[in-house]
Amino acid sequence: MVIFFTLPPNDVPWPWVLVNQFNVDIASRCIVWTSNGRRIEIRTDSLGWRYLAEHARYVELVLLDSGVEKLFKRQNPPTDYPPEYERLWWSNVQRLTRIFGKERVWVTIPDYPDDYVEVWGKPHALWVDGKDNIERTVENIVHYWDRYCTRYELRCVVPIQGHYEAPESIRRSIKMLSDYGILREAEILGIANLCTTRKVSIIVKTARIARALLPDKWLHVFGPSLRAVRELITHVNSFDSAVPRSFSWLWLSTTGIPIEEAKKMKRSDIAIQWFVHYIRKLVGVINSFDTTAHTFPREAHRWSCKNTDECVQYFIDYLKTFASHRPRAQKTLFDYR
């Protein structure tokens, strides 16, 4: 079984929800700190929190991402997390686990990316004081693992960092995690150096190395390109993407909706159209078929069901059926439990 985490439009229920540390705040707040003599400002919001609250009964798993994109994907990025980040991280973890339970919340340990090179305009912007992003990430993992993950029995996602478009570099990250004893205890590991590359060969090679070194672990991939998914899913157990939520007018042409017609539609309706289009593409990439069977439950030769709750539940059950079908997979979800 392969699980796809995302944050859909507000009106669309989804069983595997992707949120981050900056969009599950109950109220908006402004985080301000100084890095390298510059003032950095980030505003939190409740976008993810509102979605979870509205669709709680349909949610099976929540992946709480660390939000590195919002922090570090900028020119002249800060070299570290804001001082109050750890307090925000722990507050969000407590709130989500209190509502959904520890088993249903996967918490990502904050890491240091190396793959925003195009935005940074230079490589290795987060290499500091002779330490590369791999070493800094491992130090963070050890801190959070000892202070929170084991102490409070959390389901923490341990990020496997590497250098930009350098698949072999993750070997060092895995070796360091093994030396610190993290691999003996960690259940879920996430490949974290593939968020920006669109090179399928790089993505697949990195996943193959990780699977070869971690044959008995649950492997997650953060933000892989859709083009790589077909080959990727034979090596990993889950992946995520924020693209289905990130509707843009630039992508409107891919939905087939004429621009003039779209301008007359509500923003929420357009977002749903884009989301459905993306999921259809994803299904097509993985299993190469299309169907409308997921849209309505009905008995043979009878009218389709009009009850909204039943339709939603049927859609989610259909997703699970699709997700459990991996034609070339060597192992399933249950082999890693």
Rg (C-alpha) for the chain, rounded Å, is 20
Q: pLDDT tens for residues 237-254? A: 999 998 777 655 555 555
Q: Right CATH number for 3-246 from 3.40.50, 3.30.310, 1.10.357, 3.20.20? A: 3.20.20
Question: With 80 as the cut, is the pLDDT of residue 317 above it?
Answer: no
Closest CA to 207 of 243, 167, 246, 178: 167
> How far lies 218's CA from each of 1, 36, 124, 159, in Å?
11, 38, 28, 12
Q: Which residues contact 261 (CB under 8 A, 6 or more apart)?
A: none
Q: Could you state, in order of their start, the residue ranges of all structural domains in the chain?
A: 3-246
Give the HSE-up count for residue 190: Cα atoms under 13 Å, Cβ half-sphere: 29
More confident of the two residues 114 and 317? 114
Higher pLDDT, 115 or 248: 115
Question: Is the pLDDT assigned to residue 309 strictly greater than 80?
Answer: no
User: CA 106, CA 320: separation in Å to the nearest integer?
Assistant: 19
Which of 195, 227, 232, 228 lies closest to 211 in space, CA to CA?
A: 232
* Token couple for 194: 């593939």
Strand (E) or helix (H) holding 200: helix 200-213
CA dist 71 → 67, 147, 335 (Å)? 7, 23, 36
Q: DSSP character for 148?
A: I
Average pLDDT over residues 72-83: 93
Q: Which 3 state secondary structure label does DSSP give 41?
A: strand
Instruction: Quote the CA–CA distance of 333 and 337 in Å, as a whole number.
Output: 7
9-47 pLDDT, tens digit each: 888 889 999 999 999 988 778 898 888 778 899 999 999
Element (H, E) at 96: helix 85-100
DSSP classification of residue 305: P
Q: What long-range pairs does 197-204 form, CB within 8 A, spacing at least 24? A: 197/115, 197/164, 197/165, 197/225, 198/225, 198/227, 199/165, 200/225, 200/227, 200/228, 200/231, 202/165, 202/167, 203/228, 203/232, 204/228, 204/231, 204/232, 204/235
3-class DSSP state of 212: helix
Cα separation, 322 vs 293, whole angstroms: 11
Q: How far apart are the first and last CA of the chain?
A: 12
In whole angstroms, give the CA distance from residue 319 to residue 313. Answer: 10
177-225 pLDDT, tens digit per residue, is 999 999 999 999 999 999 999 999 999 999 999 999 999 999 999 999 9
Euclidean distance between CA atoms 199 and 205, whole angstroms: 10
Task: Compute CA distances 306 → 22, 193, 293, 299, 314, whole Å.
Answer: 37, 44, 14, 12, 12
CB 155 within 8 A of CB 105: yes
Contacts of 158 (CB under 8 A, 6+ apart): 109, 141, 145, 177, 182, 186, 188, 189, 190
The pTM is what?
Answer: 0.84
Q: Is 289 exposed, middle or buried (0-12, 13-18, 19+ CB in 10 A)?
A: exposed
139-164 pLDDT, tens digit each: 999 999 999 999 999 999 999 999 99
